[in-house]
A and B are shown apart, each in its own frame.
Chain A
Amino acid sequence: MSGLIAPVARLIEEFSKLPGVGRKTAQRLTYHMLRAPADEARGLASALVAVKEEVAYCSTCCNITDRGVDPCAFCADDRRDATRICVVEEPLDVLAIDRTGEYRGRYHVLHGAISPIDGIGPDQIRARELVARVAAGGVEEVILATNPNLEGEATAMYLADLLAPHVPMVSRIARGLPVGGDLEYADDVTLIRSLQGRRQVDLS
């Protein structure tokens, strides 16, 4: 970054380390910060520091939690069914599932999925913690809610093998047609998967 004064070059450098941010975007963000009021810069800086210093991981479910709040709010909530654990890849997935109101059990966050290309194997996700938690007993069902892509499937298969000896039921979320969609516009894979996952019509 010849010709740039050091603080500007450094900020561009830091921004361009972020995922999805290229050189030009990093420059744009840097010049935006230069023009912005000092308060805005301080706000951003303190938010960045806080996210590392004030956020911790729940020792039970591995989800993110406020520092000092362990177990997290989900794990501490006695009204939640502790015999069911829903396993997801990311903290945002917990919010998505919980928002539905359909599920009132506990969660486990893996923080990733198995992907050899990215150097992520079983030891790089929070799988061991899950197995220990389930092996400790009291769990009736583990619901594997990893993403329906290759890496999510690889993770689900791996966990299913490990968990089977410790829990009566390991289930996988169904894949199927989007609600409100038209059959004729669904792609073949989605159609095939929803045929494979068909159920008897409930007449009750």
Chain B
Amino acid sequence: MRLTRLLLEDFRSYASAELHPEPGLTIVAGPNGAGKTNLLEAVFVAVTGRSHRAGSDAELVRHSRPFARVRLDLSDPQGVTARVELLVPAEDTPPEIRKRVTVNGLPRRASAIGDTVRVVLFRPEEMLLLVGAPSERRRFMDAILAQRHRAAARDLAELSRVLAQRNALLRAIRREEATPDGLSFWDEQLAVVGARVLAARLNLVAELAARIPALHDAVAPADEQGEQVRLSYADTLKNAWPERPAASGPAPPPDELEAAYRRRISEVREKELWNGVSLVGPHRDDLRVELAGREVATHASRGQQRTIILALKLAETDLLGADDAPTPIVLLDDVFSELDSDRSDRSLSLLLERGQVLVTMADLATLPAGRRGVTIWEVGEGRLSQAPRVA
């Protein structure tokens, strides 16, 4: 599905705005803070059900307005059209106005929107994906899982609920306000839901790993060609999972992982009671990336790291569009300013081969050479230009 029209009403800084993206590349230009990212955020929220940067939904609503509305008009090459509409109430809106998303006028669960439209968001912060905290890499994996599989989205939500409850109980036990016998239920939930999330991530990493070498070489400059990039999943199970294969591969049956979690959870019992926090589970795991056998975070150059990150985002795009799923809309939030023009141009070409790309940029000079003649929408002071101009 590609986006033919984006319509905003009282969303963030916009009273109203309308954008007609091109089938291929669309540029949104404007100074920092003008509201470019808000446009990408609107598309992202309408598709995934939540913002990548708002603390609460109410933040998405323009000041003193009752609700925000985002509408996506979509069509595919066969001429099938769809309309996705998201309504987000403000903090103090009467309870009759509830957050809801509709597809062609019919209410849908946010997790079901992935059947109609998908989206890849490339944030500038992701340029630090390989050197940043493990939480960034877990977020990268989980965003793909949540959009691809409804069951995974629910498992991730349930896992965070289980962990929140379990951590609250561990803290209460440490303060001697509760007894450890209440833990067994939450231990079991963590083992069962944790095993499902772990299995989903292991399968994802296997799929990413299979795609990375070719994508890496497609993005890499001549002197980086053929470098060995290896992805692996780092779990927290230690010796409690003796069946773990030497190299990362597809997930084993769930009971094997559940049993491993049960063993590991009981091993760390004392330590958890002391720390008052869950020490074992998918929330402590990491995606490990090696280049020519060495950790990229410490041994790869900035350029090499960026090549790998671009390959990961291309792999994300391919995986989200695999298995008859709708081809994702790619949203690039001012990422070219972080890349040399060679890598920019090659990765943009690769993304455009796959589908529709929306790019924000503060400085039009960062537009890769050879892209002159594209249409540019300008943003300033919470307003979007009425019509694009041709650069």
Contact = CB atoms under 8 A, between A and B. Distances in A.
Contact of B182 (A24, A121, A150, A187): A121
B162 interface: yes
A25 B185 contact: no
Interface residues of A, number: 21
Contacts of B169: 116, 121
Contacts of A151: 165
B185 A158 contact: yes
Nearest to A20: B95
B182 A114 contact: yes
Interface residues of B, number: 24
A121 B178 contact: yes
Interface in B166-192: 166, 168-169, 172, 177-178, 182, 184-186, 189
A188 B149 CA distance: 11
Interface string A119-130: 101100000000
Contacts of B154: 187-189
Given A121-B182, A158-B182, A116 B172 contact: yes
Contacts of A158: 182, 185
Contacts of A154: 165, 185-186
The DSSP consensus for interface residues of chain A is helix
A157 interface: yes
Nearest to A154: B185
Contacts of A188: 150-151, 154
A117 B92 contact: no
A25 B182 contact: no
Contacts of B92: 22-25
A153 interface: yes
Contacts of B162: 150
A187 B161 contact: no
B158 interface: yes
B185 A117 contact: no
Residue with the highest number of chain A CB atoms closer than 10 Å, among B109, B168, B189: B168
Contacts of B158: 150
A153 B185 contact: yes
A147 interface: no
Contacts of B178: 116, 121
A115 interface: yes
B242 interface: no
Contacts of B189: 150, 153
Contact of B165 (A20, A23, A24, A115): A115
Interface string B140-157: 000000000011001000
A22 B97 CA distance: 14
B105 interface: no
B112 to A, nearest CB: 9
Interface in A143-171: 150-151, 153-154, 157-158
Interface of A: 20, 22-25, 114-117, 119, 121-122, 150-151, 153-154, 157-158, 187-189
Q: Which 10 A-B pairs have the closest CB atoms?
A: A24-B92, A116-B168, A116-B169, A22-B92, A117-B168, A157-B185, A154-B185, A121-B178, A116-B165, A188-B151
Interface of B: 91-92, 94-95, 109, 150-151, 154, 158, 161-162, 164-166, 168-169, 172, 177-178, 182, 184-186, 189
Given A22-B92, A150-B162, A188-B154, 15 more contacts: A24-B92, A25-B94, A115-B165, A116-B165, A117-B165, A119-B172, A121-B182, A150-B158, A150-B161, A153-B185, A154-B165, A154-B185, A157-B185, A158-B185, A188-B151
23 contacts: A22-B91, A22-B92, A23-B92, A24-B91, A25-B94, A116-B166, A116-B182, A117-B164, A117-B165, A121-B169, A121-B177, A121-B178, A150-B158, A150-B161, A154-B186, A157-B184, A157-B185, A158-B182, A187-B150, A187-B154, A188-B150, A188-B151, A188-B154
